């Protein structure tokens, strides 16, 4: 019987890696970072469109240096479909759960390609008072905990959570204390860039470090 040409030619080692990641019914940040780095370092994958699309999608998920529960679900579904499209089975627990929960990077050490963000960088504002009745937009990876936890602590104090910075009301853009080296060289991500634009226009938008936010709770 001739081979099914509709199936993408995906290396068996990648299928095996995906099956291993999916085996416990969840995808965590470390697994996503491992997969991103592995694909980037394997030149033989560069000519395979399916893998190119997967690699671009993973990079998009980490665009702001974060990896939340919705990102985990998205990547889980992508890996599951990739395995199925290759004609292989996906073995998962009877009650799979997708989660982004994973040990947080230590704040005093490098974690893979991620680094601690110094709070004394010029980009950060240092307002004397943080108004917790204002809007808050969170970006990056937080030593405090998952982004959802940071948002919950903020809403409990009256804050309004926004997915992206807003210029029509006071808005604090809180940057997590963990980021990629690119961030340290000015590649801040779309949320920070948007906040900078608002700030330059004189809008009531402040970019603050996670430590300042946490200390004012």
Structure tokens at 154: 């903020």
Distance (Å, whole) CA 71 – CA 47: 26
Q: Which residue is associated with the tokens 């965590």? A: 28
Distance (Å, whole) CA 45 – CA 180: 24
Identify the band that residue 97 occupies on the pLDDT scale cut at 50, 70 and 90: very low
Could you give phi then psi for residue 131, rounded to 5 degrees? -85, 105
Across 137-141, 162-166, 177-181, least confident range: 177-181
The helix or strand, by DSSP H or E, that contains position 51, with its residue range, turns out to be helix 49-61
Q: Are 171 and 206 in contact (CB under 8 A)?
A: yes
Structure tokens at 37: 């780095």
Q: Are 164 and 191 in contact (CB under 8 A)?
A: yes
Distance (Å, whole) CA 141 – CA 111: 12
User: Whole-prediction pTM value?
Assistant: 0.54
Q: Summarize pLDDT for 124-133 with one digit per residue, the tens.
A: 999 999 999 9
Mean pLDDT of the chain: 78
Classified as helix, coil or strand, 151 is helix
Q: Which residue is associated with the tokens 């634009």? A: 197
Identify the band that residue 1 occupies on the pLDDT scale cut at 50, 70 and 90: very low
Structure tokens at 24: 């416990």
Q: Summarize pLDDT for 25-76 with one digit per residue, the tens.
A: 888 888 888 888 778 777 777 677 778 778 888 877 776 666 777 778 888 8
Across 11-15, 19-23, 41-45, 103-107, least confident range: 103-107
Distance (Å, whole) CA 194 – CA 188: 10
């Amino acid at each position: 019987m001739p081979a099914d040409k509709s199936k993408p030619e995906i290396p068996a080692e990648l299928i095996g890696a995906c099956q291993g990641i999916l085996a416990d019914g969840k995808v965590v940040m470390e697994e996503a970072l491992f997969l991103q780095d592995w694909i980037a370092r394997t030149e033989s994958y560069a000519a395979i469109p399916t893998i190119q699309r997967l690699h671009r999608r993973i990079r998009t998920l980490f665009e702001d240096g974060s990896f939340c529960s919705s990102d985990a679900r998205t990547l889980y579904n992508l890996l599951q479909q990739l395995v199925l499209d290759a004609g292989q089975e996906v073995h998962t627990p009877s009650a799979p759960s997708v989660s982004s929960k994973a040990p947080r990077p230590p704040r005093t050490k490098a974690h893979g390609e991620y680094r601690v963000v110094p709070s004394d960088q010029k980009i950060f504002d240092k307002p004397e008072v943080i108004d917790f009745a204002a809007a808050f937009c969170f970006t990056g990876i937080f030593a405090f905990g998952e982004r959802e936890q940071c948002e919950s602590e903020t809403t409990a104090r009256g804050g309004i959570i926004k997915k992206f910075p807003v210029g029509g009301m006071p808005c604090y853009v809180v940057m997590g204390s963990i980021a990629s080296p690119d961030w340290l060289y000015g590649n801040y991500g779309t949320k920070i860039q948007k906040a900078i634009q608002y700030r330059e226009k004189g809008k009531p938008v402040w970019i603050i470090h996670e430590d300042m936010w946490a200390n004012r709770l």
